[in-house]
Chain A
Amino acid sequence: MQAQGADEALRARYRYWVEAMRPKKPLARNLAWAFGVGGAISEVGQWVQWFFQRQGMSPDQAGTPTAIVLVGLGALATGLGWYDRLTKVAGMGASLPITGFANAMVAPAMEFRSEGLVLGVGAKLFTVAGPVLGWGMAAAFVVGLARLVLGVRI
């Protein structure tokens, strides 16, 4: 009768039940939403870039102001409490574009305001984006080094 003294066989059976009975993520629905929303955000980004190109910028030059506009939109949507609702249905479709990066920066900034500007916002600003930035820079360094050593030209 005692669960604690349960033999290893029961625990193994339990682990099997946990895996077998665990409710599954709605994968098809999640993928469809991620595709739709991620695509829509990219489409908006493309329009913004075309807008800057019509102002006489080259596609390369238009990249920077486009990123600034999208980050601004993502930050605004976060501040208004919309972006977390979007990500809830779209998952990576909303997290991966640069607007998701804005969300990852602004959310902790809002969150830790109550602990003050220095030890709150200042210290916690990168709690979410930090791992991506840290390892992203490390990866960029490795790739850059490999390119230098192998003499690959783009």
Chain B
Amino acid sequence: MTVGVKRVGAATFRLDGVYVAASGTAVGDKEWQGPLGQYFDLHWTPPPDSKSFEQEERDLLRRSQDVALAKAGLDWEAVDVVLGGDLLDQLVTTSFAGREHGRPLLGLFAACATFTAGLATGSLLVAGAGAQTVVVSAVSHHFAAERQFRYPVELGNQRYPTASWTATAAGSTILDHKPHPLRVEAVTIGRVVDWGQKDPNDYGSAMAPAAVDTILRHLQATGQTPAAFDAIFTGDLGEFGRRLALRLLNEQTGEDWSQRLDDCGRILYDRKRQDVHNGASGAGCSAAVFGGYLSARLDAGAWHRLLLVATGALLSPTSSQQGESIPGIAHAVAVVAEGG
């Protein structure tokens, strides 16, 4: 197969010969019991000997990578590059997993947009023939994130209606140049968009403008209309962020996108029954939703072309306390079902 990459706009690239070989997903209890539970590979439970949430997160990541490799029929020696990230300081989960698999590793951070940052980078690496087999991973663990970003786990507090629930989930996707049913068609690297939202209990409103910016840039560069996509999935704007994104898209294009645009964080849980307010978030959310549900829809022929636009809120607890607004970013990856 010939691989190739063509720049069609500012940081938008059309790719040839980049395929999704397999995806592996592992999710926690709450995610497994959610409406998408049946689509995930592994119902992960913490290993009995784990001493910390951080250790558990590493186990979760490794399990998703192992499943992906098993599904693709590969072992670690066949992997040329590993790309990925998590939400913990200094990317310890991704890096510590690297000391076990021992493959060349590029840690990435784009908060909850990490998965598409990895998919885009990995696709460019394959298209440029720089690598043949790339593993892209993203992981988050609810309690590990809580204790880093918010409060101790057992401390009682009331969550805001706009707050989202960090998912305990990991998704790993393997990209290579051999033909498979799913092909990466084009990618757009997002830019940082900050419209001054400051509420750390509401990432959706901070990230929605970034998602809209990337979606419109991607369409403009590729010359596609929204109708070219059967589904456009942002991740993790949640219920509120999606409504804001729809409003912005409507304002800027004059079209109603509500039948086309949905959000990974909005569908991972049953928001009423599972008491998660705005929906799910976390680097692992869009990775698991893509590897589980979205890939399955493409594989089944329900959709032909998908635009996955994971969104990240690029704040730290310190920046928030210092009164800074929340910068958002979104990276887009278009995936087509070949012959679907």
Binding site for B on A (CB under 8 A): 1-4, 6, 10-11, 13-15, 17-18, 21-25, 30, 78-79, 81, 83-88, 91, 94-95, 100, 103-104, 106-108, 110-112, 114, 127-128
Contacts and interface: CB of A to CB of B under 8 A. Distances in A.
Contacts of A91: 158
B193 A84 contact: no
Contacts of A24: 161
A14 B154 contact: no
Among B155, B209, B252, the one with the most A-chain Cβ atoms within 10 Å of its Cβ is B155
Nearest to B52: A114
Interface residues of B, number: 41
A4 B158 contact: no
A117 to B, nearest CB: 14
Given A2-B217, A11-B195, A23-B162, 7 more contacts: A14-B209, A18-B197, A79-B154, A83-B154, A84-B153, A84-B156, A114-B52
B59 interface: no
B244 interface: yes
Given A2-B213, A3-B212, A103 B196 contact: no
A129 to B, nearest CB: 10
A34 B52 CA distance: 33
Given A3-B193, A83-B156, A128-B151, A21 B212 contact: no
Contacts, number: 108
Interface of B: 51-54, 147, 151-162, 191, 193, 195-197, 202, 205, 209-210, 212-213, 216-217, 220, 239-240, 243-244, 247-248, 251-253, 278
Contacts of A23: 161-162, 239-240, 278
Contacts of B147: 111
A84 to B, nearest CB: 4
A127 B321 CA distance: 14
A114 B143 CA distance: 13
Contacts of B248: 3, 14
A92 to B, nearest CB: 8
B155 A1 contact: no
A59 B52 CA distance: 45
A17 B244 contact: yes
Contact of B155 (A2, A84, A114): A84
B240 A22 contact: yes
B161 A25 contact: yes
